Amino acid sequence: MNSRAAKPGPAGLRFLRMSRMGAQLLTVAVLAFVASTMAYALMPGRPAAGPPSEAPGVDLAWLFLRPRDPGMLALLATVWAALGYHLLRLWLEIRRIARAGWPPAQSAGPPVPEDLLRQHDRDMSLLEHLPLILALLVGAVWPWLLAQTPVMAFLLSAVTLAGALAAALRGIRQGAVVKRSSTLGFIAGWALLVCLTVFAGLLEQRLGVPQKLAVGLAMLIGAVAAVSVQLRMPRRTGFSVALIWGLIGIAASTVSTDATIATATVVAIAIIAVALVRATT
């Protein structure tokens, strides 16, 4: 009886084979992203070359990628922790669903476990995790390109953002139910802010746009996008929490050097907060 109960049935084995491939690739992507961004963040000194936004004393992208302020460092650490939590929950879910296909220890009963596994066939497939896997693998590379090839870095950061947003908006499939995830939303919110700060630096560096105008434009785009995304994730606060957290860090870092940027950031915070309240009530 114990040996029979210790082995999954045919449906359980099939589910394990299908699910572990997606989970294993996602694990590799998470480890690559965390290791790369951690190495970049902890690397001493400033980049060898950087955007002219350093002239006023604040490189906004640097605030997120190589933070020195405790609040912004905590934001990056929370992104790492969110990825770890998502990965842990994924493996636990695989184990829980696979065990439903194990043959019962004492009585056969109705084929409920087989039905359950068929309902969850797509939960852990590679296609379900592909957007996040792509986002993380690209996100592990592009920060290292920012100093020398900012245009390519921006394009790749947009790919990271698209993958993270796709994962957050797709949610987590559990059979016929798709649940939105605040964890994935938090990661997507951080990715949006990083992409926008790189965009603002690119406008300033390549097109000669004044930093105030570049950041103001980025904040406007970000606020509009944030409202649209948040309203599609009702009762999930992770996306907006990450945005507000990061924007507070920008405001705190620029208030003594450029009050205009700090003011624009506060306005963006207010807009996102209104959308968050509407989405959670």
Q: How far apart are CA 143 and CA 262, in angstroms?
A: 25
Residues 6+ apart with CB under 8 A from 70: none
Assigned token pair, 231: 């309203």
Cα→Cα distances 141→23, 33, 71, 201, 202, Å: 21, 8, 24, 18, 18
Residues of the chain with pLDDT under 50: 1-6, 47-57, 102-108, 110-120, 176
Distance CA 86, CA 28 (A): 13
In degrees and rounded to multiples of 5, residue 108 shows phi and psi of: -70, -55
Question: Exposed/middle/buried for 83, CB within 10 Å: 0-12, 13-18, 19+?
Answer: buried
Tell me which residue of 261, 224, 242 sits closest to 64, measured CA to CA.
Answer: 242
Q: What is the pLDDT of residue 7?
A: 53
CA-based max dimension of the chain: 75
DSSP result, 257-281:
T-HHHHHHHHHHHHHHHHHHHHHH-
| Nearest in space to 232 (alpha carbons), one of 173, 172, 185 | 185
Contact 65, 37 (CB under 8 A): yes
Q: Name the strand (E) or helix (H) holding 172.
A: strand 172-174
DSSP helix/strand/coil, 177: strand
Give the pLDDT score at 52: 38
Whole-model pTM: value is 0.82
pLDDT in the model for residue 156 = 97
Task: Tell me how crowded residue 141 is: count the other CB atoms within 10 A of its CB.
Answer: 16
Distance CA 218, CA 267 (A): 13
Please check whether residue 65 is in contact with residue 50, taking contact to mean a CB–CB distance below 8 angstroms. no
The two structure tokens encoding residue 71: 């609040």
DSSP type of residue 42: H
147 secondary structure, DSSP code: T
Rounded to 5 degrees, φ, ψ at 105 are -75, -30
